[in-house]
Amino acid sequence: MRLRRCAHVHLEPRERLVFDLEFLADGGDGLRDVLEWAALAPQIPDETILSASEAAVLGALSPSQWIGFESLAQTHSRDVLEALLAKGLLVAEGSIQAERDDKLRSTHWRCASAVMHYASRWSGIDAHAAQRQMDDTEGGDLLSRLGAPPAVVRERADPAARMRLPAAPASPLESLLARRVTCRNFDTAQTLGLQQFSTVLFRAWGARAVQDFAPSVPLLKKGVPSAGGLHTTEAYLLVQRVDGVEPGLYHYHPIEHALEPIGALQAEAATALARQFVAGQPYFADAHVLVIAVSRFLRNFWKYRNHAKAYRAITLDIGHLSQAQYLAATELGLAAFITAAINEVDIEQAFGLDPLEEGPLAVTGFGIRAAEYRDVEWDPLHAVWPAR
């Protein structure tokens, strides 16, 4: 059996207190400091705790050269090598773990970006329930829980030294921006029109043109910018209530301006899945359409290989796309939202995505705003809701 270290791994030194009855009996306070290493690796679902000896051996092993187990055992503890192999930080040639490690390498992830991305993915989290529990136990008092917030604006000069600028003139764009309010109250009794649905999708996600930047390297022209013109973030949809579109999971083809069916759903199942996607936030799960922003890491890193800015550029794409969708929906009298509190792992499984190559970074959505004000919306200009 030949082994090598996995491609990407981050070791974080940790300190924690444990109760030690023997230490207490000897006259101590019963608490001991335990120093350990937490290993974070993209291909391993959870963090792995290592002993100091395991961390030392891991740092001494090659990530590129396959070396026989017996050869390694001549200079390293056999027990430590077996422990690292069982924890997935050493991979055996020809194993499933090695295949996943090879896929991660071939996608050209930068190590720091890969570790951060995979360590922040959720599965089965109910953020809404957690927030309710926090409000119940701590009274919802942000100041007592968190202390005073930083100033709303950092001021860098004396007020007398500020140069006042002319006011922006009234315009259709200014009016549109004023009415752009995140929706937490969707009308579940109405069905979204097919033309409205189609228009919002095209204006935010559709391609206006396709042109070769170089031989066999086509780029897309969309209504939003994207690093290198690659437009690596695509729309996956959970449709709930749209005229002429059955409830279910879809992929939006930006060039053909078409839906690609992935899986049909009954209405109740669609609602349950929507709530799972947005980590239990019911006000977002009620949207007529959930649009999941899925970034194709393989396409981005094809050009920006192991690049320090590649992952940051992907996250910027999400902001451009979500704002375009907000404005497209608002122009039609519809409402929109975006949330990063999502269960990425559950979304990947529902759409059949390989997280080493592509995955969701946010869930957006749009639909018809309800006439009844149930959940709080941040509308200080009263552009949508009258003063309360």
Under a CB-based contact definition with an 8 Å cutoff, are residues 204 and 224 in contact? yes
- pLDDT of amino acid 31: 83
Reduced to 3 states (helix: H, G, I; strand: E, B; else coil), residue 28 is coil
Give me the pLDDT at residue 136, please.
Answer: 65
Task: Please give the Cα distance from 240 to 269 (Å, whole number).
Answer: 10
List, in order, residues 6 or more apart from 379 with CB less than 8 Å away.
181, 385
* pLDDT value of residue 375: 93
| The length of the chain, given as a count of residues | 388
Torsion (CA) 377, 188, 250, 128 in degrees, nearest 10? 50
Amino acid making up residue 288: H
Which domains are delineated in the chain?
2-106 (no CATH), 175-367 (3.40.109.10)
C-alpha 174/C-alpha 200 separation (Å) is: 19
Nearest C-alpha neighbor of 239 from the set 249, 229, 225, 227? 249
Q: What is the pLDDT of residue 27?
A: 73
Q: Is the pTM of this model over 0.85?
A: yes
Give the pLDDT confidence score for residue 140 in this predicted structure.
62
pLDDT per residue rounded down to tens, the chain (388 residues): 999 999 999 999 988 888 877 767 777 777 878 888 999 999 888 889 999 999 999 999 999 999 999 999 999 999 999 999 999 999 999 999 999 999 999 999 999 999 999 999 999 999 988 777 767 665 667 788 888 989 999 999 999 999 999 999 999 999 999 999 999 999 999 999 999 999 999 999 999 999 988 888 899 999 999 999 999 999 999 999 999 999 999 999 999 999 999 999 999 999 999 999 999 999 999 999 999 999 999 999 999 999 999 999 999 999 999 999 999 999 999 999 999 999 999 999 999 999 999 999 999 999 999 999 999 999 999 999 998 7
Whether the CB-CB separation of 254 and 206 falls below 8 Å is answered with yes
Which strand (E) or helix (H) includes residue 211? strand 207-214
